[in-house]
Structures are given as C-alpha cells and as structure tokens.
Amino acid sequence: DQEALSGEIVSSEANAYDATVETALPTYTSVVTNVNSNIAGFWQAVPSLYSKTTKSYPLILFIHGIGELGTEIGRMNCCGLPRHLRYNTFPPNFNVGGANYSFIVMAPQFKVRPSAADVQSAIDYMKARYRIDPSRIYVTGLSMGGGSTWDWSAVYGQNAAAIVPVCGGTAPTDALCKSIASKNLPIWGIYSYKDAVVPASWGTTFFNTIDKYNTSYAGVTKLTIYSDADHNTTWGRAFDPVSRVDGYNIYEWMLLYKRGSTATPPPTTTTPPPTSPTTGNTAPIATAGPDQTIPASWNWFPTLNANASKDPDGYVAKFAWSVVSGPSAVTLATPNTGATQVTGWKTGTYVFRVAVTDNKGAVSYDDVAITISATATSATTGSSSSTGGTTTVAGAPIAKAGDDQSYPKSWNWFPTLNANYSTDPDGWITKFAWSQVSGPNTVSLATPNTGATKVTGWTVGTYVFRVAVTDNSGKTSYDDVAITITNN
C-alpha cells in the first residue's frame, strides 16, 4: 500500500541518509491508476528496506520513447532504465563520494507525448506518496522521452538536481535553450553521430547555446556523442549501469549533484583548454568537410559543417570556426557550433578553420577551402558503379538511406525513412524519391518525394526501400535500407 509506505518525511539533513546499505534488489511493480489524464499507469522501483527506514531517497523520473505510448504497460520494459529493473541488472546501491544511495524510480506510461506539466504531475504524485529527497530529483528519458526531458527542464528545471536527456527528440531553439540555462542545471546529454533519427548536431547546439546563456554552469554540463552507435544502441548503452564515461555511469553522475549549493560542485566560469593532448588522452579528429567550388550564379552558398568530427577516447565538447583567408569579410552566424551559415560571400577562394576540443581539453584543427567561381562549372561525367545496394554515378550525389534496422512488432512503433544525410560534393540535392523494392505489399509511403517519409501499414517481415537522390545537375544515385519487423 503506497500510503502506508509513505511514513513520516524526514527533512533534517543529518537524518536524510542513515547507515543502512541496500543489498537486495529493489521491489519493481506496475501500478495501474490515473495519475493524470495522460497517465493511466506506471512502473515503480522502491528500495527493499524502504518500509524499515525513515530516511528520504533520491528519485529518478524516467520518460519512455514514442514506441511505448499507450496503456499497455508491459511494453514499458523493452528499453532504457525499466529494462534493467525488469531483468534485475539495476544495482540496489550506488556509492558516490563515500556515501551510499538507493533510488526510488518512477517510469510513467504516457498516452500521448507528455507536456511539461504532465511530467511534473508525475513527480508531484511520487513526492506525495514516498519519502523523496526534494534536493535529489533527477529526470531522464530516451528519444521522445529525452526530448520531453528538455521540454520539462525549460519550465520546471528548478525542481531538479540534474537531468540526462538521451537521443533527445526535441530540436534546439534559442528560446528553449535560454529557458533551460536559467534553471542552473547540471546536464549530461548523450547522442550519436550514427543516429539516423535524432541528429548529433542537436546535442551540440543545445550545449553550446545553454553554456552561452549560463557561463557559470558550463562546468557542470556534459555532452557525449558516441561514434559507433545508432539510435537504439545509443540509449541501450547510456542506461546500462556498467557503461561509464570519465569514470561514472549516468546514475553515479546524477548523485554528484543536488539542488542547493552545499552539495553541488562549485561551477566554474573559466576552463582554459590545453593546446595539446594531456597525458593518456587522444586528441579529437577534426573534420571541416571537403573543399568545394560553387558558381556565384547558383546564388547558393554552403554551410560550414564539422559535425563529422569525432574523438576516439571521449567526446567532442567544443567547436570554434574562424576565417583564415578570403577576398572579403564574411560573417559566421554561429561560429561556436559544429555547423554555421556564412554570409557576405564574393567571388574568390575562402579558407575556414575549425578548432575541435574534446572533453579533456585536447584541441585539433582542420581547414576547408570554399571557392565561389565567377562562371558556371560543368558537371563531372563518368561511369556508374553498384555495390551492396548503393549505386553512385561519378559527379552525382551520395545517397544515404540510413542504417538497416529491426523492431519487434509488439513495440507498436515504426521508423521514419530518412535520407536527409545524403550529400552532394559539387552542388546540392534537388530531389528525393522513395520506393519499395521488396517485402510485404502492405505499406504506404506518406511523402515519398521528400527526404524523410513516414510509412504506414507495417506487418511482420523484412522490407527493402530505395531512395533516389538527384542533384542540381540532374545526376542521380541510389541507396537501399532494410527494415525488419519481428513477430515478438
């Protein structure tokens, strides 16, 4: 009985955590009840000794992905933190800074994507029924839930000790970042360069902009971008208690912080990075992109893009673009982000440099030359080649249909086909055309002539889809992607 478990709330710091160390796994149960109009049930984990103690406990509020929306609460255990609780791989105790902590966890199931108020309502529900330490409330989520973590933080972030958005499915805006920055939050964001659903550049923009608006808390914000994980495996790794970055898993990292200055490591306003790798640290690999030549008559100018940069033993923490040379003074719109627009071009050759800093302060550089020509250039011609479902014509765009994927039908969630990572080395992309190559003849493509299209009518089986990508010179390349829906 939840009311019986609630007991007396202990507010004294001296009694907040007694010497009892949890060794048994937490009690993990589902609760079917209307928390609010958007929550008809949730999973909860409660420390096994909860009823025998009087201390308060840290709370983790976990927000699921789009595939778990609805009222079939069993689907919640497929992914993220609930999966580790379901399969008994979530530790009963975490020792951080010489102190022992055990979490209360709530994983509500939302019917539709939650508002910030929906998430706060769930937190208030748990605070009313359990001895929750109000200075140690943590919010995290994956994909849609990572996006909702950002959304909630912009409104209620002052109520949290820290947040961990993973593959956060909300695009950054200046207003959103400014609001989050005002909440004085430690933040650990986790993304991946190979994520075909949520671009890693969103994470870079979030952190650069938040740090810009709150420089005093830049020392307690942390961005990890995996180089070798897709959308699903990113959150699989992030929520695994054995997965650590800089010595901490996300749960241990959360416990480094509490709401209030006494236990939060003092933020710093200056962190001068070294100009070379520190001992034992490999410098990042800076990639400013290929050199390009663009006729002025096209009236189209490229975006500088270093988001393909990576760090082999950590993650990229900062970008800084600068102009090395050129015929005119150009303006870089966002020089401290991975990708920036440039205005003020004239004919001639420009050289831009990007400085890429990793999480341990090592810096690497790369230059890119952009030539704006006074006359049009002729298209490159050549023969076509085809290997493994990809066909490219010399001088044509590079078609990218995304990684092959597999999903259980029981998740009731299906991917969006996405070819927006296709590129053209000597021009720009003008057209996309999606088609089905093989698989059950049950699906419909909502917008087949766009870079990304939703697909409906899925059933169990393996589907192969092809995207045709055409550039401004009329050349076309193709790429295939396989999507498997399994019967479980």
Question: Given 225, 254, 283, which residue is the final one in a domain?
Answer: 254
pLDDT (0 to 100) of residue 21: 87
User: What is the structure's pLDDT at 326?
Assistant: 84
Are 58 and 144 in a shared domain?
A: yes
Is residue 367 located within the same domain as residue 407?
A: no
> Two tokens at 320?
């800084």
Whole-number Å distance between alpha carbons of 292 and 259: 49
Q: In the chain, count of helices (H) and strands (E)?
A: 8, 28
pLDDT given for residue 393 in this prediction: 53
| Rounded Cα gap, residues 55 and 16, in angstroms | 5
Residues 119 and 53 in one domain: yes
Reported pTM: 0.55
Number of residues that this document lists for the chain: 488
The CATH number of whichever domain residue 434 belongs to comes to 2.60.40.10
Residue 60 pairs with which residues in a beta bridge?
Answer: 105, 138
Q: What is the pLDDT of residue 137?
A: 98
- Domain presence at residue 39: yes
Same structural domain, 118 and 28: yes
**Whether the Cβ atoms of residue 381 and residue 466 lie closer than 8 Å to each other:** no
105 touches 184 (CB < 8 A): no
Give domain status of residue 285, yes or no: no
pLDDT value, residue 329: 81
The DSSP H or E segment spanning 463 is strand 461-471
Q: Within 10 Å of residue 247's Cβ, how many Cβ atoms? A: 7
Closest residue by Cα to residue 156 from 126, 128, 130, 124 = 124
The stretches in the chain having pLDDT less than 70 are: 1-18, 261-280, 297-300, 375-394, 411-413
pLDDT at 297: 64
pLDDT value for 81: 96
Residue range of the domain that includes 185: 2-254
Residue where one domain finishes, among candidates 334, 354, 373: 373
State pLDDT tens for residues 149-190.
Answer: 999 999 999 999 999 999 999 999 999 999 999 999 999 999
**In a shared domain, residues 67 and 210:** yes
- 317 and 463, same domain (yes or no): no
pLDDT of residue 208: 93
For the chain, what is the domain count? 3
Please state whether beta strands 348-358 and 316-325 pair in parallel, antiparallel, or not at all (unpaired): antiparallel
CATH code where residue 120 lies: 3.40.50.1820
DSSP string, 207-263: HHHHHHH-GGGGGGEEEEEESS--HHHHHHHHT-TT--BTTB-HHHHHTT--SSTTT
User: What letter represents residue 409's amino acid?
Assistant: K
Q: List the beta strands (DSSP E) in 271-416.
A: 292-295, 304-305, 316-325, 331-332, 339-340, 342-343, 348-358, 363-373, 384-387, 390-393, 405-408
Q: What is the pLDDT of residues 287-326, one digit of tens each?
A: 888 888 777 766 667 788 888 788 887 778 888 999 888 8
In a domain, 284, yes or no: no
Could you tell me if 368 and 388 lie in one domain?
A: no
Residue 13, CA atoms < 13 Å, CB-side half-sphere: 7
